[in-house]
Structure 1
Amino acid sequence: MYHPKMSKITPIASHQFLFSIFSLLLLTLPLHGNTQSTTTDSEQTILLRLKQHWYNPHSISHWTLPTPPNSNSTTHCQWPEITCTNSSVTRLSLPDKNITGPIPPFICDLKNLTVIDLQSNYIPGPFPTVLYNCSKLKHLDLSLNSFVGCIPGDIDRLSTRLRVLNLNGNNFTGDIPLAIGRFHELRVLRLFQNELNGSFPPEIGNLSNLEMLELSDNAFLLMAIPSSFTQLRKLKQLWIKDSSLIGEIPVTIGNLTELEELDLSNNNLTGTIPSGLFLLKNLTKLYLYKNHLSGAIPWPIEALKMQIIDLSQNNLTGTIPADFGKLTLLSGLALFDNQLSGEIPKTIGRLPSLRDVKLFNNNLSGTLPPDFGRCSNLRGFEIPSNHFTGKLPEHLCANGELLGVVAFDNNLTGELPNSLGNCSSLLIVRVHGNHLSGSIPAGLWTSSNLTMLMLSDNSFTGQLPRTLAPNLSRLEISNNKFSGEIPSGLSSWKNLTVFSASNNFFSGTIPQELTSLPLLSTLVLAGNRFSGHLPSDIVSWKSLTFLNLSRNQLSGPIPDKLGSLPSLTNLDLSSNQFSGQIPAEIGHLRLTSLNLSSNCLTGRIPTEFENTFRNTSFLNNPGLCASNPSLALDICYSGFKTSSNISPWLIAIIVVVTTILVSSAILLTLFHIKKPYQKREHELNSKCEFTRFHTMEELSFKESEILSNLIEKNVIGCGGSGKVYRIKLNCLGKVVAVKQIQNIKKLDQKLEKEFLAEIQILGTIRHSNIVKLLCCISSETTKLLVYEYLENQSLDRWLHGDKCPSTTDSVHFGVLDWPTRLQIAVGAAKGLCYMHHDCTPSVIHRDVKSSNILLDSEFNAKVADFGLSKILVKHGEPNTMSTVVGSFGYFAPEYARTRRVNEKVDVYSFGVVLLELVTGRKANDGNEDMCLADWAFQYYNQEGNHMVDVLDEKVKEPHYLDEMTRVFELGIICTWPRPSNRPSMREVLRILFDCNHQLGFGPSDFPDNSN
């Protein structure tokens, strides 16, 4: 066909045109059918086919055919990802190129290929057996991809020349095959961070040339270290941490004479540390932490190249060997959480390379070596919870790199070293719980990088400075002998979140500037000599949760603005001289602790506090009264306290007049607001979209009945996306629950997604253990979900108390007995089992927690709140989420790490719920460093533990102990760190059925798909 631009073609243009046609023909060679490339294909053609097979990744867009002669284009041997030897491709290096397709068979048509590096991509599928045809392959790196399934049993069909095999960071499962032991040229074997859940073969010990063996972070079956591994005489690096090892470390490990790094941490190893281990002269790094090793640390020590020793979190006894003082290259020494005793050898303080010392939680005693920090660039010095005496070493920060001094809970005396006042690198100083005295070095108060200064429970003296360290967030100085006033002009305290200074000798007034600290969450000034009024302007305390000003001489009224602090949960103003009435605004606070006793308060207490839970909150205030006689206060009469000085007739007249005035005001107000309200209701009704999910009989109510009752007194719950209301429908006498997704002008994208997710899932699901969604009401400003109402509300309230008190319900959240708890566990498991195994496609909840398990009048459990749910396209396949969502303490570790979700994330969360039911603890209630699941896992693995000690005392009875223990163990299994080791919800349900046949469970209950 003629085209105007083709009317004149020069010889050069003609050549270029023909060359382009030839290029297109090459790129359109068939990619399927015969997997072998023809003998005429050049290596460049194979590479271009590879690029096209992987959908032309932008990162290799420079892979193009050469242009005509005299151009500056490069050949394929000059591409940076390609290495050629004698003009033939020998190395293909494509790490982190965003490759998402499988490896094609024709890759091995590059006949001289010796190195394939495809790490850090997204290559899917099983192990690529097509690579068996790469006959000269020496180095294969497929790490950090998306491979699944087992490592093939015939993997030894790979090239016998193979020296490096790296498969780490994938999703391989099952055993490591015996065939691995047949790669006699292998130098490097890296299989860590997979899902391997079978065994590893002793035949690995046959790899006589192996230098690096890394099997860490898998979920192997319980196995001891094969003795054959100690035959690997050329081995330099052995990593098998976090891999379910049991038994003892082989005594013959001393045969690994070339060993440089050994990491067997976080396993279940027992026995003693073999003495031969410290005779390995090339050993530089030794990690044996978090095992059950016992006995003394062996010596003599000839591993003089040692740089790091971490033997922490074991059961080691005896003393720290003096030979550690010979390790001149040692930079890190971690022996914490053992039972070591005696003194620290003085020579350890003189080690020139020492940077980190962690010896806490032992029985060490004596004085500290005075040379710590003098000879080395010390960074971390952590020795708390021992029995050390004497002074802290003077030269800890001699080289100006010290980050932290942590020495609390010892018997140290004397003053803080003056050198700490000139240590600008310091981040943390924690020396509370000692017998230290004297003044604080002036420079320490203002150290530029200091974030935490904890000096409580000592005998320090002096006054607070006007200026504090600009980054200081935590200042704790309680139980000392500090004096003077809190200085005014506290602009440098702006980052302070915790200020605890109780039981000192502070005096004067509480300065107004203290109320301007916007991040302050905890303020404790109890037991001092403060006087005067409280500052009235405290509106900046938006983050304050804990306020304790008790046992001072404060006076005047309690500021009503205290009631406007949105986060305040603990308030203690007891033992002062406050007067006047308790502000009604205080009653609006959702306080978990309140103490206003021993003041001069008068009048009636706020009606919100008239319950027995507050029976000690108002003692020793002679002028207070209440309507509830159980509060040990005088009884109020019609809003006034009765008194012999006031005539009852006068009181009666006042009450009648007041009642008439109030009634008139109410009627007048209703008259004025009726028409505007009706207008607003009409506007809402006219714009709302009403979607039904059930029969007309179940939905014989109007939108107006819902909208008109969205008032504060009907609130029964609160959450991240809005409030939940209990609404009684006048036409039926029926009660429904209404979840409101924040009523704002334009719903943000996150909340809109949550709303649509709940609609999509609950609108189609029918199951007796999943909450029933009746309808939804949607407008531009309002998103409402109307559910069946469940009388006993959430499991969380029964286990942990009422977080969002209701003004309409009279449910008494007492103690759930064990049979009821087990019944609830079974019901919730049924709902999740249905979602995972009987829905098509499967549904992952992603936010299973006790507050999302609701209870009807018979305590039957129903899973609720599907705003974070994910529907799986294919059953069992992981989905990657853009962000981590869910609740702390409940979401699985692999979800937080990789954002990939499958059914096992729900199993983990449900396991946490089981632990809550059994222990009575909260999901984030392990201790200060771990959540409930981590705490339970650690407790379960301690030797000599008694399972009955962790069970909830409120329901622990002899005839329930066996069932409770079994459910506790099931919770441990469900929260196992490796998802492949967790059971399915179908298996969980079966185990729960087996726990107690007396509850009447039987085969017909498994599974239950009833409506």
Structure 2
Amino acid sequence: MTKLHFSVPIITPPLLGLLLITLPLLVISQNLDAELSILLQVKQQLGNPPSIQSWNSSSSPCDWPEITCTDNTITEISLYGKSITHKIPARICDLKNLMVLDVSNNYIPGEFPDILNCSKLEYLLLLQNNFVGPIPANIDRLSRLRYLDLTANNFSGDIPAVIGQLRELFYLSLVQNEFNGTWPKEIGNLANLQHLAMAYNDKFLPSALPKEFGALKKLTYLWMTDANLVGEIPESFNNLSSLELLDLANNKLNGTIPGGMLMLKNLTYLYLFNNRLSGHIPSLIEALSLKEIDLSDNYMTGPIPAGFGKLQNLTGLNLFWNQLSGEIPANASLIPTLETFKIFSNQLSGVLPPAFGLHSELRLFEVSENKLSGELPQHLCARGALLGVVASNNNLSGEVPKSLGNCTSLLSIQLSNNNLSGEVPKSLGNCTSLRSIQLSNNRFSGEIPSGIWTSSDMVSVMLDGNSFSGTLPSKLARNLSRVDISNNKFSGPIPAGISSLLNLLLFKASNNLFSGEIPVELTSLPSISTLSLDGNQLSGQLPLDIISWKSLFALNLSTNYLSGPIPKAIGSLPSLVFLDLSENQFSGEIPHEFSHFVPNTFNLSSNNLSGEIPPAFEKWEYENNFLNNPNLCANIQILKSCYSKASNSSKLSTNYLVMIISFTLTASLVIVLLIFSMVQKYRRRDQRNNVETWKMTSFHKLNFTESNILSRLAQNSLIGSGGSGKVYRTAINHSGEVVAVKWILTNRKLGQNLEKQFVAEVQILGMIRHANIVKLLCCISSESSNLLVYEYMENQSLDRWLHGKKRAVSSMDSGSDVVLDWPMRLQIAIGAARGLCYMHHDCSPPIIHRDVKSSNILLDSEFNAKIADFGLAKMLAKQVEDPETMSVVAGTFGYIAPEYAYTRKANKKIDVYSFGVVLLELATGREANRGNEHMNLAQWAWQHFGEGKFIVEALDEEIMEECYMEEMSNVFKLGLMCTSKVPSDRPSMREVLLILDRCGPQQGHAT
């Protein structure tokens, strides 16, 4: 047998070294190839999105921008903002060394991704997607997890208690989801937790703050705004020694603030506003790092602690809307960093510390609605940063500080309802940024100077209720749009220089001592909308040439000594709906041109008018409009008959006799027919044994009955109509008080739907009491009709003011070119937001309007906004198992949230979307359905923003001025936020209101 011989190779040391190097590289290469294959499969399962086209087999994954490698193995994947629309595949967990997965800001659907096998995962970012369903009950399998962010999704159900077993977590954010369980106390076991954010989860069951959270010694950030928290703040929170930010705002917390809360050495930001906290503010204050404190909108009592004066880093102190009493500590004015000081709407007394503004760059100083006395601090603008002074409704005395005249940053002064006196500083004309002055109801004396009409940048002046002396500043007028000096003792003539106010929208000088003639220059104001000069001593004739007043909406010249004829041109003013010329000495005939416009509200009584009234006014509803004109007559018996004098002196003419005989015969025939009709109607009803009666249900104390309403409805007082009925403007008594009546007729085909709308309005409006929601006075119902009686809104709808010139709403709107300025638009936006915020957050159960639009935002005589038309509103049931859904899509095209068309689910976010469209209308001046010819306004605005164009290019050029650009841009951006396609990305109405309130200086503080 032949032996087989095997030769064994001799491995030399150099060859051994080469093998030791090559083999690991070979293994690494094989691992990376395997991971490449996994990623290519993941890409395919994600639908091959164009945003990751760089993922291909010809390059190393470590070179792809979305991939991070460590030691040639994939450890991090970032798909932030890649427009992913498919579910995350479980295959991704085959990357055994994956530590970071970021898929935020996409459109990923479905439940929590199947990634629990990613055993080394430390960072998981799923925020801003479309995830639904619960957090997995076994999420603790991700035992190495350190960072978990699920913000802005639609996760629901309970937060699993096992989340407290993720012991490595230092960051946990569950903000803005649909959770509807309770807060797990097991989170208190996360000893390494530094950042805990669970805000905007208002569907959570009312839950107390777990006292176990007080064990989180490393916690620096706790954010639980709008989380349906109830009960007291646990005393254990005094142990959060590392805490820097505590935000528990917009909840229903009660009880007192724990005594040790302001002893936390590292606390920098404390936000507890809009809760139900009571008792005294802790007086021991050692949190010397505090920069911002907001305890507003609670029930806090007692004094402001003097300890606040020790906070040398404090920039903002907000204590407004409480019940604080006592004096303001003097050392609060010495804080060197103080910028915002808001303590309005309390019961504070004593004097204002005089050092305010001397030691810091004070920006906002708001102390209105208290019991403060003494003088205003003299150096509020010493550092040149002051934006607003709001000190109305106090007992302040003395003069307006002369130092304010050198404050070029100043935007707003509100000092009404005090005991201030003396002159308005002449130097106030140097405040070229000033927008608003309110000095009403003080004790100023003197007369108004002519210099006010030659200024440069002033936007609004409100001086009503004073009696000024001296001269007002001379640099306050080029952009002046609103002047209100009503209820003073101003005297002398109305200055002719008023003609320089080319942008003047509103001029009110009611109840003063103005004398002389109305200057012809007043008629040259092209933008004037409201002109009120009633209650003065004006005399002479009205200027005849007033054709420039094409935008005039309201004209009140009553209670003066004006004489001569009424100008014919008044009857040709296209926008005029309110006219009061009563209690003057006008003579001659009423111009026949009046027949062509018939304003909604007018009064010509108590003059010396003569002749016949125009035929258009020969109706019973105008019976009070012509009283006390002895020589005025009518052809029907609403006034003295035009035949009465002739009958005393001579026989009736043959023509008159023929007319009377004809009228008598016609009337007789009509009476016979009416009697016959009534008999037949009675017989039919008698056969059915069902006699129709009217039932009146009132919600307020009323000074009228159902007969006052029913007897005064008239077709020519129609002011609006729609799918749910017609609306009439109705005078209810001889004093001229007016209401709006919506008349809904029962119809066999539509009756059921309309009846539902009627019941909805009655149920909702009948129980609401809010300044920014239209008031339902009563309802009147019968078998065939339903009437809703509302307060009358003089300025009608926002839609008319924004878009009336672009379409013919009615005859009075045609050709109108009225434009609301930006301060008015912002005021309207804030008012409407307050109404919706009340509905969403303060009503129980909450109310969804479902048809928010500019035509359902009504404006009163002062342009205060009120939400109207609740025929489509639904009250939210508090039952999680049975969500409110609708069988048909309700609302108005252009305002409907995109998800509502297919989900039919009624929630607050559909109102937020619709309100966002209104904000875009206000900022751009465009109509909701007319972004351009191809898309609606919301789509157009998002495209404009997405293309990187300047926001200023989208704003309404008719009102845009440099001083408003930032505010208008902010409202435009807020409109974009509200109209986000993803409902969870939209803010709540409470957030919307807070943002709007901060767009500019506070313009009053109505709740």
Q: Deviations over 1:468-515 (max 9, x none)?
A: 424443332222343444333546533433322222333343344444
Residues 1:463 and 1:199: Cα distance change in structure 2 (over 3 Å) = same
Residues 1:259 and 1:431: Cα distance change in structure 2 (over 3 Å) = same
Aligned pairs for 1:264-413 (under 5 A) are 264-413=248-397
Q: How far off its partner does 1:277 sit?
A: 0.7
Tell me which residue corresponds to 1:594: 602
SS of the aligned residue for 1:396 comes to: coil
The answer to whether 1:167 aligns with 2:150 is: yes
Q: How far off its partner does 1:612 sit?
A: 6.1
Tell me which residue corresponds to 1:221: 205
SS of the aligned residue for 1:582 comes to: coil
Q: Deviations over 1:903-940 (max 9, x none)?
A: xx9xx99xxxxxxxxxxxxxxxxxx99xxxxxxxx99x
Measured in 2, the distance between the counterparts of 1:466 and 1:514 equals 12
Tell me which residue corresponds to 2:103: 118
Q: How far off its partner does 1:309 sit?
A: 1.1
Alpha-carbon contact 1:210-1:235 (below 8 Å) kept:
yes
Aligned pairs for 1:365-764 (under 5 A) are 365-445=349-429, 447-460=431-444, 461=446, 462-464=448-450, 465-468=452-455, 469=458, 470-490=478-498, 493-586=501-594, 591=599, 593-606=601-614, 609=617, 614-626=622-634, 629=637, 633-637=639-643, 642=645, 647-650=650-653, 652=655, 718=720
Residues 1:251 and 1:604: Cα distance change in structure 2 (over 3 Å) = farther
SS of the aligned residue for 1:440 comes to: coil
Measured in 1, the distance between the counterparts of 2:41 and 2:255 equals 57
Measured in 1, the distance between the counterparts of 2:524 and 2:315 equals 44
TM-score by length of 2: 0.62
SS of the aligned residue for 1:132 comes to: coil
Measured in 2, the distance between the counterparts of 1:136 and 1:580 equals 95
Tell me which residue corresponds to 1:835: none
Q: How far off its partner does 1:166 sit?
A: 0.9
Alpha-carbon contact 1:308-1:333 (below 8 Å) kept:
yes
Letter in structure 1 aligned against 2:642 = C
Measured in 2, the distance between the counterparts of 1:552 and 1:105 equals 84
Measured in 2, the distance between the counterparts of 1:901 and 1:116 equals 22
Letter in structure 1 aligned against 2:96 = K
Measured in 2, the distance between the counterparts of 1:544 and 1:472 equals 17
Aligned pairs for 1:733-882 (under 5 A) are 769-770=752-753, 798-799=789-790, 850=869, 868=893, 872-873=901-902
Residues 1:85 and 1:442: Cα distance change in structure 2 (over 3 Å) = farther
Letter in structure 2 aligned against 1:211 = Q
Residue ranges of structure 1 left out of the alignment (5+ in a row): 1-37, 68-74, 661-711, 727-764, 773-789, 808-843, 855-861, 910-927, 930-937, 940-1011
Alpha-carbon contact 1:452-1:475 (below 8 Å) kept:
no
Alpha-carbon contact 1:476-1:500 (below 8 Å) kept:
yes
SS of the aligned residue for 1:143 comes to: coil
Alpha-carbon contact 1:278-1:300 (below 8 Å) kept:
yes
Measured in 1, the distance between the counterparts of 2:487 and 2:36 equals 78
Measured in 1, the distance between the counterparts of 2:255 and 2:357 equals 35
Q: How far off its partner does 1:176 sit?
A: 1.4
SS of the aligned residue for 1:124 comes to: coil
Residues 1:628 and 1:136: Cα distance change in structure 2 (over 3 Å) = farther
Tell me which residue corresponds to 1:761: none
Aligned pairs for 1:905-984 (under 5 A) are none
Q: How far off its partner does 1:332 sit?
A: 1.0
Alpha-carbon contact 1:713-1:806 (below 8 Å) kept:
no
Q: How far off its partner does 1:401 sit?
A: 1.9
SS of the aligned residue for 1:532 comes to: strand
Q: How far off its partner does 1:647 sit?
A: 4.0
Alpha-carbon contact 1:123-1:146 (below 8 Å) kept:
yes
Q: How far off its partner does 1:866 sit?
A: 7.0
Q: Deviations over 1:96-152 (max 9, x none)?
A: 232222212222233322222222221111111x22122221111111111122222
SS of the aligned residue for 1:89 comes to: strand
> What is the percent sequence identity of the aligned residues?
49
Measured in 2, the distance between the counterparts of 1:592 and 1:599 equals 20
Alpha-carbon contact 2:217-2:241 (below 8 Å) kept:
yes
Q: Deviations over 1:195-220 (max 9, x none)?
A: 22221111111111111111111121
Q: 1:98 aligns with which of 77, 83, 88?
A: 83
Q: Deviations over 1:29-56 (max 9, x none)?
A: xxxxxxxxx9774444444444444445
Q: How far off its partner does 1:428 sit?
A: 1.7
Residues 1:160 and 1:396: Cα distance change in structure 2 (over 3 Å) = same
Q: How far off its partner does 1:311 sit?
A: 1.0
Alpha-carbon contact 1:459-1:480 (below 8 Å) kept:
no
Tell me which residue corresponds to 2:956: none
Residue ranges of structure 2 left out of the alignment (5+ in a row): 1-29, 459-477, 664-713, 729-747, 756-780, 798-808, 812-849, 857-867, 874-886, 920-927, 929-973, 990-995, 998-1005
The answer to whether 1:88 aligns with 2:73 is: yes
Tell me which residue corresponds to 1:138: 122
Alpha-carbon contact 1:390-1:411 (below 8 Å) kept:
yes
Measured in 2, the distance between the counterparts of 1:221 and 1:655 equals 81
Aligned pairs for 1:8-23 (under 5 A) are none
Q: How far off its partner does 1:357 sit?
A: 1.3
Measured in 1, the distance between the counterparts of 2:725 and 2:520 equals 35
The answer to whether 1:884 aligns with 2:870 is: no
Q: How far off its partner does 1:900 sit?
A: 5.8
Measured in 2, the distance between the counterparts of 1:215 and 1:793 equals 53
Residues 1:87 and 1:500: Cα distance change in structure 2 (over 3 Å) = farther
Q: How far off its partner does 1:623 sit?
A: 2.4
Measured in 1, the distance between the counterparts of 2:382 and 2:602 equals 48
Residues 1:180 and 1:321: Cα distance change in structure 2 (over 3 Å) = same
Alpha-carbon contact 1:415-1:439 (below 8 Å) kept:
yes
Measured in 2, the distance between the counterparts of 1:490 and 1:801 equals 32
Letter in structure 1 aligned against 2:157 = G
Q: Deviations over 1:390-421 (max 9, x none)?
A: 22212212222221111111122222222222
Letter in structure 1 aligned against 2:562 = L
Letter in structure 1 aligned against 2:200 = D
Q: How far off its partner does 1:186 sit?
A: 0.9
Tell me which residue corresponds to 2:172: 189
Measured in 2, the distance between the counterparts of 1:577 and 1:98 equals 73
Size of the aligned set, in residue pairs, is 707
Measured in 2, the distance between the counterparts of 1:768 and 1:376 equals 66
Residues 1:384 and 1:723: Cα distance change in structure 2 (over 3 Å) = same
Q: How far off its partner does 1:322 sit?
A: 0.9
Q: 1:109 aligns with which of 64, 71, 94?
A: 94
Q: How far off its partner does 1:769 sit?
A: 2.3
| Bigger mean CA deviation after superposition, 541-550 or 352-361 | 541-550
Tell me which residue corresponds to 1:897: 978
Aligned pairs for 1:199-238 (under 5 A) are 199-218=182-201, 219-238=203-222
Measured in 2, the distance between the counterparts of 1:112 and 1:196 equals 32
Q: 2:243 aligns with which of 254, 259, 266?
A: 259
Q: How far off its partner does 1:440 sit?
A: 2.5
Measured in 2, the distance between the counterparts of 1:725 and 1:411 equals 44
Residues 1:300 and 1:866: Cα distance change in structure 2 (over 3 Å) = closer
TM-score by length of 1: 0.62
Alpha-carbon contact 2:917-2:975 (below 8 Å) kept:
no
Residues 1:187 and 1:553: Cα distance change in structure 2 (over 3 Å) = same
CA RMSD of aligned residues (A): 4.5
